[in-house]
Structure 1
């Protein structure tokens, strides 16, 4: 599709003029409908949870009042104060515990422990009453009501026998939550015993199951210590609730209820207003479930949009074709003229403005045909002769093909080493002759570098080793062409000990913070003298600050500043400084100057001696080295 075409522009404009308002209306409608549904669902859920917490509060208050029967029953309370036990007191204890058991539905069992006399009594659904003398209180009692508050609710757990082993297997274990109350001698705080009422979880389940949709929603009942009293997942019962959203819901301890959104869901919570327990009802509603009706409406709207789009596109194309067909015909006439057919038959296309243009074009072509001069034909012939002369020049590809022929002959004559060297040379030539791409990948640069090192190995009879350590994901990083060879070449020119046979040359690449690509080249050759190293580092800094308002010496010595240069002049100053140096500096200075032209201030080139001998050269390429990367100024410098 030609984006410069009037037809294309007309089609795009008409489509945008119709589609954008429709899509905008759909988006606004969807957003408004979704918000309305969320608000309505939130209000309904808050009312439902409020009623649910009222029902739970009523059950817990009734359970607490039932446990207070140990104080209201005078005979039972006197027995706990005196510790006396006989048949009549045992019957009274059984009657009191039976009343507690029947006061609240779904009570599993009631346990009473008298500290005086160390007597324990339990009333169950199946085994009736069981008694034990000279026995210790159940250990969990001290954990929940041993000190502090006299009443505590133990979160959901599997019921136990309170030390009455004979209850099994007549009394099967069930999931229960338990109210523990410490019995005290009034008005003192002397402990007379404990009473514990186990309530089946089914009682709580019957209440909260009416508060949510099990298929789509989740509901949790959590105590003030973060333990789960109720949840659909039985593995969570009685354990701390470890959810990412839990702490956020209880940021305000005094709040009676509230809501928040997190992880694609709406959370609504309501606190149970009971003195017996500090529970919280939490309902999780997936956002997708809340706005399901809006999603259905959006799907219908999308279907209608697709049908409307088909009609709009068809009508737009037909109208555009009828309007632009004469323009297309005129373009075809022009293409034929451009191809050299100056006698193309031009037919009028109508009486409108475009038809008038076609008539004027036909008149113009008649005039041009009459004004073609002989000198123009002679100039054309002259250009043709020049082109033939250029084609007669030696093509560099001829040399590359000749090298390939010689390499093939070497292979046929059984000299594979010569073929390998010629192949390496041919790869270098192809790499050098490719003048179209100024930016290449690190993979291509390393391939060229390996071919160069292969030739140097033959030259120096394998007196050195070459190691490359580059992560696979960095091989597609982009960089300027012919950057690494001058760095490696310095080793062979100035650092390599020609008499030694243990030379080492290593190249590493790593990704630094900020998306900068760092390339390090190390060798074990000769070290650079301190004076020469200082001079070289000074030249490198001068290249780096060539486009700043002060040169390097001015910054170092506090000297006078020179006039500010623009970015283009600064780059040329960098190249002039680089070209003014002498070997081995010129190669490194040129490398730094080219890097600065591409990456600006992000480019770095550092050189230093290694403690173990040899030289380390480190290049830092800017953020544009990564494909698709941008500089910190947001400009793509590739």
Structure 2
């Protein structure tokens, strides 16, 4: 790191606002001495505090191991009350005596024994299971009932398969989340034949008192694990932060109680129940650190109180001194983002108050100028719309009437009525100016009348098709949008062609927009002229000039004035192959509010 880099790093905090400069300087002066003294004092007392924690916890763990052994001895007594009952398991090796007392004992008598034993111990025992090998039957008693079954599968395995091995069973098996099973078998002394067995499903909460005693530190972790280090019971449900591999290694390397000091904390382990289970406790290093800090805080109470008071005073001075400046700065930033409703109240009487009064005066003047400009722009746009609506092409009226007269003179057919009706509807729609917005249905009906009249002029030389997607008829669009665009098809595309002309108008909804396409197979537009048209359509309404007729620019201007700059007309053409004009407007149904 170069000297210039270090200098910039050191000066960075002081390049912030005035408030932070004062705060940072005062806090550094107040905290630096306390931090130095506290660091050395904590290192001195940490070792002695760790020794006290180790001594007290080893004593608790040893007492807990004795408590566990006593509780498990009581559970073994419950199991022995069944295993040593001669009416259930004969102790003699004579087969005739076993046949009389054990196998012939009625189910009712066995069930009564189990029920009595369960009732006497149901505070801690969830279930008692009794297996009789001679009957190949398993008796079970719990809070619901006493029953027997020929299904010999249990949590420790299948009793039938266990009996075949002629091995003695004495194990503790975990049953998540809050119980464990103590399993004992009854074997004949002479040949180790399995006569039966007992399973006691026990609640871990019977060890609750001693677990609470071990859990002497609020943020410590206490677990019951098996001889392989697998968690059997987590009484407090906390996330285990002890590394499983470290725990297994500590238990596997020693058959005696002990502790291991780790970087994360102190790990205590204590065997119980002849090493079948282990009591494990982990005291995080944060507890040791916090305890040391608590001890040291009393010695430095006066110094800390003085420093805190100095910090508080410096913060308050910096806050109230810079508060009006920051308020004025935030108001100026809001104005920068075009928020002009941020005038300042409670003007001060000092130099800062002078700035606040000048700011309010400036803000009021800006609002007045904006209002003047906005009203001018609205009036200009209203005039533009009225001017565009007032433009009518008399050339079309002349041609239409001339065509109708020709039909009347030459053909003398009743079709004249249809064309007169079309012209009547056309001009009635034209002079009906109640609203700037109409439905797509009304606009398509208007352009259909126009095309029927043009059909009279061109006869078989003209084909047209109107394709409106179902459901689009009730959406709104600007009035007099399609007829000027279709008129352009004839004026600039179809007139003078030797081949038949074709006009296709297609209306469809695309996501949340309405897309109207007007296609013709006319002469198309030259590339230079097309580029000029597209450039004019991309200009804003303020930049566009009114045309001499209600042409493509005027239609585009009206759409963008009403719906927004993102909508309007888009023209594409291939010279000699026709032109396509797309009208893009938002999908707004009749009666919905128009967002501007």
TM-score under structure 2 length normalisation = 0.39
Could you say which structure has the greater relative contact order, defined with CA pairs below 8 angstroms and 6 or more residues apart?
Answer: 2
TM-score under structure 1 length normalisation = 0.37
Is the radius of gyration larger for structure 1 or structure 2? 2
